[in-house]
């Protein structure tokens, strides 16, 4: 019997797990990852994007192994390995991580809207409306959260074709010569890219909600590969479009490319792109709210509907307190480092400890 098992009527089909993972990866980072990865490896950074994406598949393999080892989620795995007190302390750390991720996404979206569209936007009012929508989705249950994730990918998927406008002005000789940077520079670039890939670790929490989870593996890995190819393709297009000196000054390079899109029915396409991105980010907020409240329910025995309101209030306070570019950079950097530590350092250690404990217990 799966630990923390849920009724079958509340579970999702195996292939739908991929939409949750992909919707978390296609978030705020895709709007400006180009500058951060090119900082160290220059225009060889597209290779780092590809390699970092393949490493996410290895990390997902470990995540599945952890969940399969205890037949449950990461919360049970932590308690099983470290005991109730230490295990729940680590689980609380996961709650904090999902809270700061939700607040970071919301804060970054507010900054983009204020910078590109409405300078006088009230962050407090916008954050309240956005979080109320997230709470409403979470109240519908996890299947509703997954449905929104599906729509958040499918409906704005036409935006992929808009990047083709940049190809007209692209110069692919910008990418030459290939392999012109050292191994250490490529590693640094890959590290910066891995931060944009984060989000797939939410499977650690929603694993018990997957019907026949072993069948979801291929779909989730296909989703990760699709995200990898998308990021790699966008990096190549961006590097061909931007001269290095211009990319260094482009905080939101993806939005900059949308400025050249001209259609008969719309002049400033970046406005439409940002509006669509607000839709794409709804699953980010809903999933992190759900994951944090789910962890709180399991750890502190509090009703999830009450927990999600408290968590949303914390996200509201944080998002309103980080309106400046400097604070936002610092906050997102902290969030990314915590996520990197949890996914790429803690999860492998946890899996090794699970193997050791199971072996000792068997003896």
Q: What's the pLDDT band for 19 if we cut at 50, 70, 90?
A: very high
Which position has the token pair 């390079």? 253
Q: 137: closest CA among 257, 256, 312?
A: 312
Contact between 311 and 131 under an 8 Å Cβ cutoff? The reply is: no
Does 251 score more than 50 pLDDT?
yes
Give the pLDDT confidence of 201-236 residue by residue, as tens digits: 999 999 999 999 999 999 999 999 999 999 999 999
The reported pTM is 0.94
Give the pLDDT confidence of 62-105 residue by residue, as tens digits: 999 999 999 999 999 999 999 999 999 999 999 999 999 999 99
Over residues 171-187, the mean pLDDT reads 91
Give the pLDDT confidence of 186-208 residue by residue, as tens digits: 999 999 998 889 999 999 999 99
What is the rounded average pLDDT for all residues in the chain?
92
Does 274 score more than 80 pLDDT?
yes
Q: What's the pLDDT band for 265 if we cut at 50, 70, 90?
A: confident
Q: What's the pLDDT band for 297 if we cut at 50, 70, 90?
A: very high
Q: What's the pLDDT band for 323 if we cut at 50, 70, 90?
A: low
Q: Give me the sign of the Cα torsion angle 350, 352, 358, 363.
A: negative
240: preceding bond cis by omega (within 30 degrees): no
Share of the chain above pLDDT 70, in %: 98
Does 338 score more than 50 pLDDT?
yes
- Over its C-alpha atoms, the chain yields an Rg (Å, rounded) of 20
Cα–Cα distance for residue pair 9/87, rounded to 1 Å: 29
177: preceding bond cis by omega (within 30 degrees): yes
Does 300 score more than 80 pLDDT?
yes
pLDDT in the model for residue 1: 42
SS3 266: strand
Q: 292: closest CA among 95, 48, 133, 116?
A: 95
Count of CB atoms situated within 10 Å of the CB of 27? 23
Over residues 257-267, the mean pLDDT reads 85
Cα–Cα distance for residue pair 311/321, rounded to 1 Å: 16
pLDDT in the model for residue 177: 87
Q: 58: closest CA among 151, 233, 171, 194?
A: 194
pLDDT in the model for residue 303: 95
CB-based burial label for 82 (10 Å; 0-12, 13-18, 19+): middle
pLDDT in the model for residue 189: 93
User: Torsion-angle region of residue 98: left (phi > 0), alpha (psi -120 to 50) or beta?
Assistant: alpha
Q: 197: which 2 tokens?
A: 């890939």
Q: What's the pLDDT band for 330 if we cut at 50, 70, 90?
A: confident
Measured CA to CA in angstroms, residue 362 lies from 38, 117, 172, 356, 359 at distances of 49, 61, 58, 10, 5
Over residues 106-121, the mean pLDDT reads 90
Does 125 score more than 70 pLDDT?
yes
pLDDT in the model for residue 327: 78
Cα–Cα distance for residue pair 254/267, rounded to 1 Å: 17
Q: 290: which 2 tokens?
A: 């759900």
Give the pLDDT confidence of 29-51 residue by residue, as tens digits: 888 899 999 999 999 999 999 99
Which domains does the chain carry?
13-358 (1.20.1740.10)
Per-residue DSSP letter, 344:
I
Cα–Cα distance for residue pair 351/346, rounded to 1 Å: 9
Q: 349: which 2 tokens?
A: 């250690």
Over residues 242-270, the mean pLDDT reads 88
């Amino acid at each position: 019997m799966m630990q923390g098992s849920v009724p079958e009527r509340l579970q999702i089909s195996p292939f739908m797990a991929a939409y949750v993972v992909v919707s978390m990866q296609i978030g705020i980072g895709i709007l400006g990852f180009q500058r951060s990865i090119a900082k160290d490896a220059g225009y060889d950074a597209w290779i780092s994007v590809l390699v970092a994406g393949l490493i996410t598949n290895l990390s997902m393999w470990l995540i599945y192994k952890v969940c399969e080892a205890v037949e449950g989620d990461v919360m049970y795995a932590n308690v099983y390995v470290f005991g109730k007190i230490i295990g729940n302390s680590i689980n609380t750390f996961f709650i904090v991580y999902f809270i700061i991720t939700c607040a970071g996404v919301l804060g970054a979206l507010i900054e983009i809207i204020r910078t590109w569209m409405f300078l006088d936007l009230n962050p407090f009012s916008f954050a309240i409306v956005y979080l109320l929508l997230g709470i409403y989705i979470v109240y519908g249950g996890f299947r509703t959260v997954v449905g929104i994730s599906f729509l958040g990918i499918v409906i704005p998927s036409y935006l992929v074709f808009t990047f083709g406008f940049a190809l007209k002005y692209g110069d692919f000789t910008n990418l030459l010569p290939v392999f012109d940077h050292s191994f250490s520079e490529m590693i640094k670039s890959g590290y910066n890219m891995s931060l944009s890939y984060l989000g797939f670790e939410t499977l650690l929490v929603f694993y018990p909600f997957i019907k026949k989870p072993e069948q979801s593996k291929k779909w989730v890995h296909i989703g990760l590969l699709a995200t990898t190819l998308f990021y790699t393709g966008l990096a190549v297009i961006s590097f061909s479009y931007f001269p290095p000196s211009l990319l260094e000054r482009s905080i939101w390079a993806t939005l900059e490319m949308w400025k050249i899109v001209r259609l008969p029915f719309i002049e400033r396409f970046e406005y439409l792109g940002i509006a669509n991105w607000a839709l794409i980010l709804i699953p980010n907020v809903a999933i992190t709210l759900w994951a944090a409240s789910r962890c709180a329910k399991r750890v502190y025995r509090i009703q999830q509907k009450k927990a999600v309101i408290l968590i949303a209030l914390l996200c509201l306070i944080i998002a309103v307190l980080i309106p400046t570019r400097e604070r936002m950079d610092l906050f997102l950097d902290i969030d990314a480092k915590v996520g990197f530590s949890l996914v790429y350092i803690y999860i492998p250690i946890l899996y090794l400890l699970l193997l050791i404990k199971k072996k000792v217990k068997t003896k």
